[in-house]
Amino acid sequence: MPSSDLGLFLRQLLRDPTAISAMAPSSKGLARAITSALSPATGPVAEFGPGTGVFTRAILDRGVAPADLTLFELNPAFCTSLRQQFPGVRVINAGAQSVGDHCQGLGAIISGLPLLSFPADLCAAIFASAVQALRADGAIHQFTYGPKPPLPEHIRADLGLTVTPGPRIWLNLPPARVYTYRRG
Ligand SMILES: C[S@@+](CC[C@H](N)C(=O)[O-])C[C@H]1O[C@@H](n2cnc3c(N)ncnc32)[C@H](O)[C@@H]1O
């Protein structure tokens, strides 16, 4: 990871610890795991909470075209850096809960949001909007450091989603797991 990315991340962490809720950007191993289902055939993709762009780079490395990728990032300093790093990618300085207003027919959503630090009503708003923006066969890939799926169970059931765990990524600090949510 470039040291400028780490410096930017740490400065934004000090400004808004709750929104960022991680001690460092995710590892390349976690970035490979959370993007493993993507290919040029996935079609339009959205990313939630890209931060310094570790997952964004991995999404593009999977062959997703820049024009097919939309990023939702609340932090304006991260948005400026993302626009410089990823020309041709749409960067929206707004909450992930607005994805349904901006995107339709998404094949996948990659989420780096710290769901465990969010109130349940915000999690519900984000996932309801995500379901609205997804194709019927689309999937939401969400990582967590916690021991179980990060979306509260009653919200998953209300939205009619199934959830599948991926392998634990031990080399991420802290170790993490990716969960995939799909329409039941
Ligand atoms: C834990 S950091 C993850 C950054 C990066 N994806 C990674 O894994 O290294 C969480 C990111 O989500 C952003 N964020 C927090 N709440 C958000 C929301 N409601 N919508 C979009 N981005 C949000 C923060 O600004 C931060 O960049």
- The pLDDT value recorded for residue 2 is 67
- The pLDDT value recorded for residue 23 is 74
Probe target for ligand 1 pocket from 35, 47, 74, 122, with the most ligand atoms within 8 Å of CB: 74
- The pLDDT value recorded for residue 25 is 87
Domains of the chain with bracketed CATH: 26-183 (3.40.50.150)
Predicted confidence pLDDT, tens digits, the chain (184 residues): 566 788 888 888 888 887 777 777 899 999 999 999 999 999 999 999 999 999 999 999 999 999 999 999 999 999 999 999 999 999 999 999 999 999 999 999 999 999 999 999 999 999 999 999 999 999 999 999 999 999 999 999 999 999 999 999 998 889 999 999 999 8
Probe target for ligand 1 pocket from 9, 20, 109, 140, with the most ligand atoms within 8 Å of CB: 20
DSSP code string of 46-97: EEE--TTTHHHHHHHHTT--GGGEEEE-S-HHHHHHHHHHSTTSEEE-S-GG
- The pLDDT value recorded for residue 127 is 98
Distance (Å) from CA 111 to ligand 1 centroid = 8
Which residue, by CA, sits nearest to atom 18 of ligand 1?
95
Nearest atom of ligand 1 to the alpha carbon of 122:
19
Interstrand relation of 45-48 and 90-92 (parallel, antiparallel or unpaired): unpaired
Q: Find where tokens 């066969």 sit.
A: 137
